[in-house]
Amino acid sequence: MYKIINRKKRIATIIADIFGNLFFLPLRLLRKQETITLDRVKTICIIRTAYIGDVVMTLPILPALHNKYPEARITFLTSTASVAVLQHNPYLDNILTFDPFWFYSGRIRDWLFFIKKLRLLRFDLLIETRADIRELALLAFWIPARFKVSYDVGGGGYLLSHRVPYPGLCHKVDYHLHLAQYLGCPIEGVEAELFLTAEEKQEIVSILRAQGITGPFLAVHPGSRLVLKRWFPDRFAQVCENLFQLHGLPVVLVGAAEEAPLTERIQATLQCQQCQAISLAGTLSIRQLAALLGRAALFLCNDSAPMHIAAAMKTPTVAIFGPSQSVETSPYSLVGTVVEKDFPCRCTCDESNCLHSDYHACLKEITVQDVQQVAEELLIRCFSGTRPANPSDQPISL
């Protein structure tokens, strides 16, 4: 089966697989599959280049692998932007960076140069976590490794030494952990975690204090990498105003530099309503953002990379979902919740083009009241009693 929604990509992958299987068939018939044993794995390479949120959802595989192979050296191959979520991770020995042209605005000649470097490396075990024919054929294939492991749901399975049975539709964290489970790794209790330094945590305190934020606050990210995933700025502003009036939570708007006009628009609306609001869009690094979210009383956002970072920081999160499937990418957290509406077309949406007769219908149906109610319920659940790992230095009054 192919886990590819986009029809053109699925057809192209099927055609590539037909020729690939024919070309590699003699080799597969001659090569006997070896058993992956503890004594045979001293070096491990994990591949996940796209995107930051997906890399965060891959993080639990690291402690799982370490538990199984405590003496193995682990390398992670990822994009330049994603390095930040891997820094200071105690389970990693090395990070390789590359921005592939099939996901980012890279050049083919950069890929050719990088391939030359990959050919000099050697690993015992390689795990391609996305199950993408491009990653398998253009990266994994060129890395010398005794064992190459992934799913065969995105094409290129003939390039693997071990094809992991697909577990069915599930959250991407579980999707990644199933790869580790196939290798015999204990997965109970493992989780995504970003390891921030004391200096990084103190730095965000100083940044917030300079903006007049010294107590609990509401963090808000109204953007997303894909426009179709964005709820409406005026509705974000209304929810923020309501929470400020009810709980006195000042608003800290975050986002990438290109999202600054969006956050500034919401900030201006809130300030007109006498609501304390600041915008830090375009001013924070990924690690500063993580530190900020770790201190937030509540995070309000769309389906996006910051949502997954917030989940890793164990921040109470209300995530608004439109075209994407929350079953796969909801905040993987005990204090994360989703607001969404049931539209059948969401199951086959590629998140780039809305084919519904009422454009953006899945997000239009989500009202201010819907989000307000969920936010209130989460605040009550997290702060009326005792919540582990309270991110704020000061308790919130409800």
**Which pLDDT tens digit goes with each residue over 204-233?**
999 999 999 999 999 999 999 988 999 999
pLDDT of residue 180: 98
Least confident of 106-110, 169-173, 277-281, 297-301: 106-110
- 53-82 average pLDDT score: 97
168 CB burial (10 A radius; 0-12, 13-18, 19+): exposed
- 165-170 average pLDDT score: 95
State phi, psi for 381 to the nearest 5 degrees.
-65, -35
Strands 73-78 and 43-47: parallel
Strands across the sheet with 162-164, in order? 94-97, 73-78, 43-47, 123-128, 145-151, 162-164
CB contact at 8 A, 220 and 251? yes
pLDDT of residue 388: 39
Which residues contact residue 299 at a Cβ distance below 8 angstroms, ignoring those fewer than 6 apart?
218, 219, 220, 221, 293, 306, 307, 310, 315, 316, 317, 318
Q: Which CATH architecture has domain 7-182?
A: 3-Layer(aba) Sandwich (3.40)
Looking at residue 31, the DSSP 8-state letter turns out to be P
Say yes or no to pLDDT of 397 above 90.
no
pLDDT of residue 387: 41
Say yes or no to pLDDT of 392 above 50.
no
Q: Which CATH architecture has domain 198-383?
A: 3-Layer(aba) Sandwich (3.40)
* Domain parsing of the chain, residue ranges: 7-182, 198-383
CB contact at 8 A, 365 and 339? no
The two structure tokens encoding residue 165: 């049975």
CA 368 – CA 334 distance, rounded (Å): 23
CA 143 – CA 69 distance, rounded (Å): 20
CA 164 – CA 151 distance, rounded (Å): 5
Which residues contact residue 258 at a Cβ distance below 8 angstroms, ignoring those fewer than 6 apart?
282
- 295-318 average pLDDT score: 97
Average pLDDT, the chain: 92
pLDDT of residue 391: 40
Helix (H) or strand (E) holding 252: strand 251-253
pTM of the model: 0.93
Share of the chain above pLDDT 90, in %: 84
pLDDT of residue 357: 59
Asked, colleague to colleague, whether 7-182 and 198-383 share their fold, the answer is yes
